[in-house]
């Protein structure tokens, strides 16, 4: 017998959480305050590009396990669990803006049945569990921290096959009830205090960002000494203490989580009196990587007045999310150098940037280009007809910022090839 769950917020995390719980047999009502978004969802229209999500949303709606309503007060009345999945955007200082979180708690408070468990799924700093408790103003409503560890492009799979489930609460009974929702997934369930649970998400993302910045720094070393970074990282990854995950160089890291969470943990540390200098260096190294890709492009052609074809706009393959995309950071810098950019992405159809023309296929992006930059690792780009590309470009220069392409056939076709950490 499934539980009755309300999910507040139908963004990336909320929609995935609600759809997956419905898929597991629970009765789920998802609420949002944006009428147009709710109307679209009620029609089965999914606003984000995420593998498998549309299918389980429609299946949940068809079997009656999943519904969408306008206004949180219309979702929580009969709920045994209420998941808060509202945005926590970054402030100018780098800390998390918790206004949406407290507003949601205040809004649902009068409508909750005694004993309903409120679960904070949003990424929040230490102390947020207490903040939600205060906003609710009810001693009969336990609050549990349950951070999400979803990767864009594989969020459904990550929810249904998690590496771990982290639950933070001082109320053992409430923690146990939340744990019961995940027990059939077969993942380790870690129960801890709220502060540890809240810190866990930030720490995980900050570490992964650090690993990526280190990887790109090693790539720069490889270029300087004539080593091949792919071989170096392969050798490193066989060490079980390191592993192969996140050992892939690129144009820098971005997305909705890593930049925000990296700055947030610095802010959390600052507030606690600790200067997280290491993390500051990680962020600086990432910005330098954007510039490094532009310098690579400058090394093969003059950018002022040139056309540059950029393949990829999303921050990574498998998503249409452009938030903090390294591809866009590179594009901005190319335009600042005087280049006109023609960009293409399989999942992104528009980009509001001066000097950028978003085209509808990869070949159109290559036409007349003095350089082609591979900025996002879409598989589509590996199967391009480079004989055709050769005829379309003004100059045969490829900057492979993802080390995605087979360089030898390109060189045989007369292309100048530059990867990251390899030539």
pLDDT tens-digit map of 366-376: 999 999 999 99
For residues 145 and 79, what is the distance between their CA atoms, to the nearest angstrom? 17
* Residue 232 contacts residue 226 (beta carbons within 8 Å): no
Q: How confident is the model at residue 379 (pLDDT cuts 50, 70, 90)?
A: very high
Kind plus residue range of the DSSP H or E element containing 283: helix 277-298
Claim to verify: residue 126 and residue 225 sit in the same structural domain? no
Tokens 């993302």 identify what position?
A: 205
Tokens 């639950």 identify what position?
A: 167
Out of 141, 169, 191, pick the residue that ends a domain. Answer: 191
Claim to verify: residue 185 and residue 202 sit in the same structural domain? no
Q: Is the pLDDT of residue 396 over 90?
A: yes
Q: What is the pLDDT of residue 85?
A: 95
Claim to verify: residue 408 and residue 349 sit in the same structural domain? yes
Q: Is the pLDDT of residue 164 over 80?
A: yes
Q: What is the pLDDT of residue 93?
A: 75
For residues 212 and 401, what is the distance between their CA atoms, to the nearest angstrom? 14
Q: How confident is the model at residue 423 (pLDDT cuts 50, 70, 90)?
A: confident
Mean pLDDT within 268-281: 96
Q: Tell me, what CATH number does 422's domain have? A: 3.40.50.720
Q: From the CA atom positions of the chain, what is the Rg in Å?
A: 23
Claim to verify: residue 343 and residue 211 sit in the same structural domain? yes
Claim to verify: residue 52 and residue 29 sit in the same structural domain? yes
Nearest-CA neighbor of 250 among 356, 401, 33, 143?
401
Q: Which domain holds residue 311?
A: 193-423
Claim to verify: residue 343 and residue 214 sit in the same structural domain? yes
Q: How confident is the model at residue 134 (pLDDT cuts 50, 70, 90)?
A: very high
Write down the pTM of the prediction: 0.90
Both tokens of 113, joined, read 């049945």
Write out pLDDT tens, residues 51-85.
999 999 999 999 999 999 999 999 999 999 999 99
> What is the count of structural domains for the chain?
2
Mean pLDDT within 182-205: 94
Q: How confident is the model at residue 95 (pLDDT cuts 50, 70, 90)?
A: confident
Q: How confident is the model at residue 87 (pLDDT cuts 50, 70, 90)?
A: confident
Q: Is 327 helix (H, G, I), strand (E, B) or coil?
A: helix
For residues 355 and 401, what is the distance between their CA atoms, to the nearest angstrom? 21
Mean pLDDT within 1-26: 95
Claim to verify: residue 251 and residue 328 sit in the same structural domain? yes
Claim to verify: residue 100 and residue 163 sit in the same structural domain? yes
Out of 138, 158, 191, pick the residue that ends a domain. Answer: 191
Out of 191, 215, 242, pick the residue that ends a domain. Answer: 191
For residues 42 and 37, what is the distance between their CA atoms, to the nearest angstrom? 9
Mean pLDDT of the chain: 95
Claim to verify: residue 315 and residue 388 sit in the same structural domain? yes
Nearest-CA neighbor of 88 among 185, 198, 189, 194?
198
Nearest-CA neighbor of 401 among 330, 350, 320?
330
Q: Which of 53-67, 123-137, 183-197, 369-383 has the lowest mean pLDDT?
A: 123-137
> Which active-site residues does the annotation give?
257
Claim to verify: residue 124 and residue 222 sit in the same structural domain? no
Q: How confident is the model at residue 413 (pLDDT cuts 50, 70, 90)?
A: very high
> What are the distances in angstroms from CA 408 to CA 246, 379, 419?
25, 18, 12
Q: Is the pLDDT of residue 48 over 90?
A: no
């Amino acid at each position: 017998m499934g539980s009755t769950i309300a999910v507040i917020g139908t963004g990336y995390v909320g929609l995935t959480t609600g759809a997956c719980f419905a898929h597991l047999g629970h009765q789920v009502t998802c609420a949002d305050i944006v009428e147009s978004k709710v109307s679209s969802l009620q029609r089965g229209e999914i606003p984000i590009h995420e593998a498998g999500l549309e299918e389980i949303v429609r299946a949940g709606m068809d079997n009656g396990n999943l519904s969408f309503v306008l206004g949180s007060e219309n979702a929580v009345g009969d709920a045994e669990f209420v998941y808060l999945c509202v945005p926590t955007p970054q402030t100018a200082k780098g800390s998390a803006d918790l206004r949406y979180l407290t507003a949601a708690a205040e809004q649902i408070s009068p409508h909750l049945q005694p004993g309903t468990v409120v679960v904070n799924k949003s990424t929040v700093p230490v102390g947020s569990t207490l903040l939600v408790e205060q906003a609710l103003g009810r001693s009969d409503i336990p609050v549990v921290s349950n951070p999400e560890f979803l990767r864009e492009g594989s969020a459904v799979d990550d929810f249904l096959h998690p590496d771990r489930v982290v639950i933070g609460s001082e109320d053992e009974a409430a923690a146990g009830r939340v744990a019961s929702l995940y027990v059939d997934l077969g993942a380790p369930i870690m129960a801890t205090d709220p502060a540890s649970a809240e810190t866990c998400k930030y720490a995980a993302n900050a570490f992964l960002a650090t690993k990526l910045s280190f990887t790109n720094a090693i790539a720069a070393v490889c270029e300087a000494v004539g080593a091949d970074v792919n071989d170096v990282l392969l050798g490193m990854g066989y060490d079980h203490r390191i592993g192969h995950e996140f050992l892939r160089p690129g144009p820098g890291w971005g997305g909705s989580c890593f930049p925000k969470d990296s700055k947030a943990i610095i802010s959390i540390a600052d507030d606690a009196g600790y200067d997280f200098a290491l993390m500051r260096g990680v962020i600086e190294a990432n910005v330098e990587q954007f510039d490094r890709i532009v310098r690579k492009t400058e090394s093969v052609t003059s950018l002022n007045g040139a056309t540059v074809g950029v393949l990829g706009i999303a921050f990574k393959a498998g998503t249409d999310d452009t938030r903090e995309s390294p591809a866009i950071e590179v594009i901005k810098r190319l335009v600042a150098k005087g280049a006109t950019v023609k960009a293409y992405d399989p999942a992104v159809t528009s980009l509001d940037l001066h000097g950028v023309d978003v085209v509808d296929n990869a070949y159109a992006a290559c036409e007349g280009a003095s350089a082609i930059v591979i900025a996002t690792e879409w598989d589509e780009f590996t199967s391009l007809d480079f004989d055709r590309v050769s005829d379309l470009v003004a100059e045969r220069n490829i900057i492979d910022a993802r080390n995605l392409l087979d360089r030898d056939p390109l060189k045989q076709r007369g292309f100048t090839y530059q990867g990251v950490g390899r030539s």
